[in-house]
Amino acid sequence: MFGNSDTKSLTMNQPYPDSLLDTGVQGVISKPLDRVDGPFKVSGTATYAAEYDIPNAVHGVLVSAKIGHGEVRSIDIDAAKAMPGVIDVITDYDSFLRNSQQGGETKAPTQGVKQVDYFGQIVAIVLAETFEAAREAALSIPVEYDYKSGVYNFEAHRDEAHKPPKAMIPPHYSQGDPDKAFDEAPVKVDVTYITPSQNSAAMEPHASIAVWEDGALTLYGAYQMPTSDASQLADALGVSKNKVRIVSRYIGGGFGSKLGIAPESVAAAIAAKRLGRPVKAVMLRQQVFDATVRRSNTEQRVKLAAGRDGRMTTLVHDSLVSNLPGESFFEPVGIGTHSLYASENRRINHDTVDVNLTLSGSMRAPGEAVGMVGVECAMDELAEALGLDPIELRRINDPEQDPEKQVPFSSRKLTQSMDEGARRFGWDKRNAVPGSRREGDWLVGIGMAAATRNNQLQQSSAKAEIHPDGSATVSSAMTDIGTGSYTIMAQIASEILGIPVDRITMKLGDTNDPPAAGSGGSWGAASAGSAVYLACELLREKLAKAMEVDPADLTLKDGQAIGGNRQVAISDLVGDGIEATGEIKPGKQEKTHTQASYGAHFAEVGVNVVTGEVRVRRMLGVFAAGRVLNAKTARSQCLGGMTFGIGTALTEELIHDTRNGKLVNHDLAEYHVPVNADVPQLEVHFLDERDIHANPIHAKGIGELGISGAAPAVVNAIYNATGIRVRDLPITLDKLL
**Catalytic sites, residue numbers:** 704
3-state secondary structure of 669: coil
Q: Tell me how far, at minimum, the Cβ of 283 lies from ligand MOS, in Å.
A: 18
What is d(CA 97, CA 354) in angstroms, rounded to the nearest whole number?
Answer: 18
Calculate the CA dihedral of residues 106, 523, 47, 252 and round it to 10 degrees. 80
* Radius of gyration of the chain, Cα coordinates, nearest whole angstrom: 26
The backbone torsions φ and ψ at residue 353, rounded to the nearest 5 degrees and listed phi first, read: -110, 125
Q: Which is nearer to ligand MOS, 313 or 456 (CB)?
A: 456
Q: Tell me how far, at minimum, the Cβ of 366 lies from ligand MOS, in Å.
A: 5
Angle at 299 between CA 295 and CA 300, to 5 degrees: 110
Q: Tell me how far, at minimum, the Cβ of 49 lies from ligand MOS, in Å.
A: 17
Burial class (CB in 10 A: 0-12, 13-18, 19+), 242: exposed
Binding status of residue 364 toward ligand MOS by CB under 6 A: yes
Interface mask toward ligand MOS for 247-286; x: CB under 6 A: -------xxx--x---------------------------
Residue 348 burial (CB count, 10 A) = 26
Q: Which is nearer to ligand MOS, 196 or 366 (CB)?
A: 366
Strand-pairing partners, residue 464, are 474, 580
Contacts of 235 (CB under 8 A, 6+ apart): 98
Q: What is the DSSP string of 233-245?
A: HHHHHT--GGGEE
Pairing between β-strand 115-116 and β-strand 70-75 as defined by DSSP bridges: antiparallel
What is d(CA 380, CA 446) in angstroms, rounded to the nearest whole number?
Answer: 12
Binding segment (CB under 6 A) for ligand MOS, from list 360-368, 383-391, 537-545, 712-720: 360-368
Q: Which is nearer to ligand MOS, 319 or 716 (CB)?
A: 319
Q: Which CB contacts under 8 angstroms, 24+ apart, belong to 431-437?
A: 431/720, 432/384, 432/389, 432/720, 434/719, 434/720, 434/721, 434/722, 434/723, 435/721, 435/722, 435/723, 437/721
Binding status of residue 366 toward ligand MOS by CB under 6 A: yes
Q: Which is nearer to ligand MOS, 261 or 422 (CB)?
A: 261
Q: What strands, in cross-sheet order, belong to the sheet with 86-90? A: 86-90, 122-128, 58-64, 279-282, 207-213, 216-221, 244-247
Q: Tell me how far, at minimum, the Cβ of 363 lies from ligand MOS, in Å.
A: 5
Q: Which is nearer to ligand MOS, 708 or 720 (CB)?
A: 708
Residue 183 burial (CB count, 10 A) = 11
Q: Which of 208, 362, 461, 720 touches ligand MOS (CB under 6 A)? A: 362
> 605-624 as b/e, with b when 16 or more CB fall inside 10 Å?
bbbbbeebebebbebbbbbb
Binding status of residue 321 toward ligand MOS by CB under 6 A: no
> Measured between alpha carbons, how far is residue 70 from residues 66, 67, 328, 559 in Å?
10, 7, 22, 65
Q: Which is nearer to ligand MOS, 368 or 420 (CB)?
A: 368
Q: Which of 234, 271, 304, 363 touches ligand MOS (CB under 6 A)? A: 363
Q: Which is nearer to ligand MOS, 366 or 390 (CB)?
A: 366
Q: Tell me how far, at minimum, the Cβ of 695 lies from ligand MOS, in Å.
A: 18
Binding status of residue 222 toward ligand MOS by CB under 6 A: no
Q: Which is nearer to ligand MOS, 255 or 719 (CB)?
A: 255
Tell me, letter by letter, the H, E, C secondary structure of 314-344.
EEEEEEEEEECCCCCCCCCCCCCHHHHCCCC
Q: Tell me how far, at minimum, the Cβ of 373 lies from ligand MOS, in Å.
A: 17
> Measured between alpha carbons, how far is residue 243 from residues 218, 235, 247, 280 in Å?
8, 11, 13, 19
What is d(CA 85, CA 131) in angstroms, rounded to the nearest whole number?
Answer: 10
Interface mask toward ligand MOS for 521-560; x: CB under 6 A: x---------------------------------------
Q: Which is nearer to ligand MOS, 70 or 586 (CB)?
A: 586
Looking at residues 48 to 77 of the shown chain, list those that interact with ligand MOS (rule: CB under 6 A): none
Contacts of 242 (CB under 8 A, 6+ apart): none
Looking at residues 113 to 142 of the shown chain, list those that interact with ligand MOS (rule: CB under 6 A): none
- Please give the single-letter amino acid code of residue 173: Y
Burial class (CB in 10 A: 0-12, 13-18, 19+), 106: exposed
Q: Tell me how far, at minimum, the Cβ of 455 lies from ligand MOS, in Å.
A: 13
# binding residues, ligand MOS (CB under 6 A)? 11
Least Cα distance to 335 among 349, 354, 351, 321 occurs for 349
Q: Which of 150, 520, 606, 709 touches ligand MOS (CB under 6 A)? A: 520
Q: Tell me how far, at minimum, the Cβ of 364 lies from ligand MOS, in Å.
A: 5
Q: Which is nearer to ligand MOS, 254 or 310 (CB)?
A: 254
Q: Tell me how far, at minimum, the Cβ of 20 lies from ligand MOS, in Å.
A: 28
- Please give the single-letter amino acid code of residue 314: T
Q: Tell me how far, at minimum, the Cβ of 259 lies from ligand MOS, in Å.
A: 5
Q: Which is nearer to ligand MOS, 164 or 366 (CB)?
A: 366
Cβ-closest residue to ligand MOS? 256
Q: Tell me how far, at minimum, the Cβ of 2 lies from ligand MOS, in Å.
A: 38
Q: Which is nearer to ligand MOS, 349 or 362 (CB)?
A: 362
First-to-last C-alpha distance (Å) of the chain: 76
Q: Tell me how far, at minimum, the Cβ of 703 lies from ligand MOS, in Å.
A: 7
What is d(CA 188, CA 305) in angstroms, rounded to the nearest whole number?
Answer: 4
Q: Which is nearer to ligand MOS, 451 or 718 (CB)?
A: 451
Binding status of residue 295 toward ligand MOS by CB under 6 A: no
Q: Tell me how far, at minimum, the Cβ of 486 lies from ligand MOS, in Å.
A: 17
Burial class (CB in 10 A: 0-12, 13-18, 19+), 473: middle
What is d(CA 15, CA 641) in angstroms, rounded to the nearest whole number?
Answer: 30
Let me know: does 169 contact 93? Beta carbons within 8 Å. no
What is d(CA 220, CA 460) in angstroms, rounded to the nearest whole number?
Answer: 21
What is d(CA 299, CA 306) in angstroms, rounded to the nearest whole number?
Answer: 23
What is d(CA 384, CA 282) in angstroms, rounded to the nearest whole number?
Answer: 51
Let me know: does 612 contact 725? Beta carbons within 8 Å. no
What is d(CA 415, CA 271) in angstroms, rounded to the nearest whole number?
Answer: 56
Interface ranges with ligand MOS (CB under 6 A): 224, 254-256, 259, 362-364, 366, 520-521
